[in-house]
Amino acid sequence: MDSRQAFGKSLKAIRTARGLTQEDFSTVSSRTYLSTLERGLKSPTLDKIEALCETMDVHPLTLLALTYLNTQKNKRLDSLLRKVEKEAAALQKEN
């Protein structure tokens, strides 16, 4: 699955898990645009990701982590989070 499709699948999964409809995003996005994101036809900006996540009451990293898990065959959240933590810690030391 490519990253746009994985993002759309993750976005829809969180939206439906939160019991939200596409219309519930009307203050941050049109229903048509949200539908194109969920179908993997477009890629959002970082600002749009933040707004969508605020509406769903999840951290943007949650949406992105689920997205990257959907692109991998080995779907292990703990492995992904360890990798991110290790990389971020190493990069913080360098700065």
| Residue-by-residue pLDDT tens, the chain, 95 positions | 899 999 999 999 999 999 999 999 999 999 999 999 999 999 999 999 999 999 999 999 999 999 999 898 777 888 889 989 999 999 998 86
Any idea of the CA torsion for 22, 25, 27, 31, to the nearest 10 degrees?
A: -30
Instruction: Please name each of the domains of the chain with its CATH number.
Output: 3-94 (1.10.260.40)
CA distance 7 to 5: 5
- How is 50-78 classified by DSSP, letter by letter? HHHHHHHT--HHHHHHHHHHHH-SS--HH
CA–CA dist 30, 89 (Å, integer): 38
Amino acid 23 reads E
Which residue reads 């509406």 in tokens?
55
